Amino acid sequence: MRSALILAGTVLLVACAGPGTRTPQPQDWTRHSAQLAQLEHWTASGKLALRTAERSESATLHWRQQERESYLNLSGPMGVNATTVHSDGQRMEVSQGDERNSFDVSTPDAVQRNTGWQLPVQALPYWLKGLPSPDLEVQSLELDPDRNLLLRLQQDDWQIHYQDYQEFQGYTLPTRLRIQGRGTAVKIILRDWQTGKS
């Protein structure tokens, strides 16, 4: 159960310009980020790989976001060790089989005490969309000079690297990203995004 909690907690968090490329246009990023900020109902499906000094794990993921409510399903091959996570930004409930753990995530050390990791759980729905979290100071931000999409972001001493994007229902959304910090590295591949209420 602890391993599943660590993996779930970690997920709930999770191009260089050549000569002659145009200078980034701040208004393009402003329009793009404003569009994504309005996207409050979405689902994303794919895979993740987690690596620490002690372990290496992988899982299939299905994430559904409904405003502040996050619903996450993680499973190994053939559905083994399926784990479900629900968070409203204040509390997190993690279930695996008959085991269930619920705790308050609003205090800084809550996730660390309950899963073994100190993670900015409330930031992850923003990071997955390719946005900085509005609740954390932006330590650094780098845009792709051609498309004005996030390439690199640092918040709360976490590094988020965006490696690929695709178009989904009129939105440009990340399909490959890497999150690193606190001795943890997470690679996420999102093959499908669905936008709008379900």
Q: Is 159 helix (H, G, I), strand (E, B) or coil?
A: strand
The residue with tokens 């939105």 is 171
pLDDT at residue 119 greater than cutoff 50 = yes
pLDDT at residue 141 greater than cutoff 50 = yes
Domains of the chain by start residue, with CATH? 2-195 (2.50.20.10)
Is 166 or 184 the better-scoring residue by pLDDT?
A: 166
The predicted-structure confidence for 153-162, as pLDDT tens digits, reads as follows 999 899 999 9
In this structure, the number of other CB atoms found within 10 A of the CB of residue 176 comes to: 16
Banded model confidence at residue 98, pLDDT cuts 50, 70, 90: confident
Banded model confidence at residue 24, pLDDT cuts 50, 70, 90: very low
For residue 11, give Cα distances in angstroms to 47, 62, 135, 167.
11, 11, 18, 23
Contact in structure between 152 and 16 (CB atoms under 8 Å): no
Is 39 or 146 the better-scoring residue by pLDDT?
A: 39
Q: What gap in Å lies between CA 1 and CA 41, rounded to an integer?
A: 29
